[in-house]
Chain A
Amino acid sequence: MVAKALKSFFRRVFSRMFGQKKELKMGFYGPPNAGKTSLANRICKDFTGEEIGSVSKVPHETRSVQFKEKVEISYKGKKMMFKIIDTPGIATKIDYEDFLKFKIKKKDAKNRAKEATQGVVESIKWLDDMDVVVIVLDATENPYNQVNITIIGNLVARKIPVLIVANKVDLRKANIKKIESAFPEYDVVGISARYGKNLEEFYESIFKLAKKV
Chain B
Amino acid sequence: MAKKKSLGKIRGFSIQFLPYSELSGMDSTQRIKKILNIVLGNVILIIQGKIESHEESRLIEDTMAMIGHVKGFKGIELAVISGDNDGGFFVRIRRGLINAMGGGNLGALTIIGPATIVKEIKKNPKKIELLLDR
**A interface SS class:** helix
Query: Which residues of chain B have C-beta atoms less than 8 A from A124's C-beta?
Result: 57, 60-61
B85 with A144: CB separation less than 8 A? yes
Query: Which residues of chain A have C-beta atoms less than 8 A from B80's C-beta?
Result: 146, 149
Q: Report the bound CA distance from A73 to B86 in whole Å.
A: 37
Residue of A nearest to B88 (CB): A142
B54 lies within 8 A of chain A by Cβ: yes
Which residues of chain B in 59-98 are interfacial with respect to chain A, using CB atoms and an 8 Å cutoff? 60-61, 63-65, 67-68, 74-80, 85-88
**B interface SS class:** mixed
A171 lies within 8 A of chain B by Cβ: no
Query: CB < 8 Å: which of A94, A95, A120, A147 contacts B61?
Result: A120
B56 lies within 8 A of chain A by Cβ: yes
B53 with A157: CB separation less than 8 A? yes
Query: Which residues of chain B have C-beta atoms less than 8 A from A120's C-beta?
Result: 60-61, 64
Query: CB < 8 Å: which of B57, B68, B87, B88 contacts A117?
Result: B68
B115 lies within 8 A of chain A by Cβ: yes
* Given A90-B60, A95-B75, A117:B65 Cβ within 8 A: yes
Q: Mark A70-96, 1 if CB is under 8 A from B, else 0.
A: 000000000000000000001111110
Which 4 A-B pairs give the minimum distances between C-beta atoms?
A: A93-B75, A153-B53, A93-B115, A117-B64
A154 with B54: CB separation less than 8 A? yes
Query: Which residues of chain B have C-beta atoms less than 8 A from A106's C-beta?
Result: none
Residue of A nearest to B118 (CB): A93
Q: Report the bound CA distance from A113 to B73 in whole Å.
A: 12
Which residues of chain B in 18-67 are interfacial with respect to chain A, using CB atoms and an 8 Å cutoff? 53-54, 56-57, 60-61, 63-65, 67
Query: CB < 8 Å: which of A92, A144, A149, A150 contacts B75?
Result: A92
A159 lies within 8 A of chain B by Cβ: no
Query: Which residues of chain B have C-beta atoms less than 8 A from A153's C-beta?
Result: 53, 56
B56 with A150: CB separation less than 8 A? yes
A154 with B57: CB separation less than 8 A? yes
Q: Report the bound CA distance from A124 to B74 in whole Å.
A: 19
Q: Mark A108-122, 1 if CB is under 8 A from B, else 0.
A: 000001100110110
A43 lies within 8 A of chain B by Cβ: no
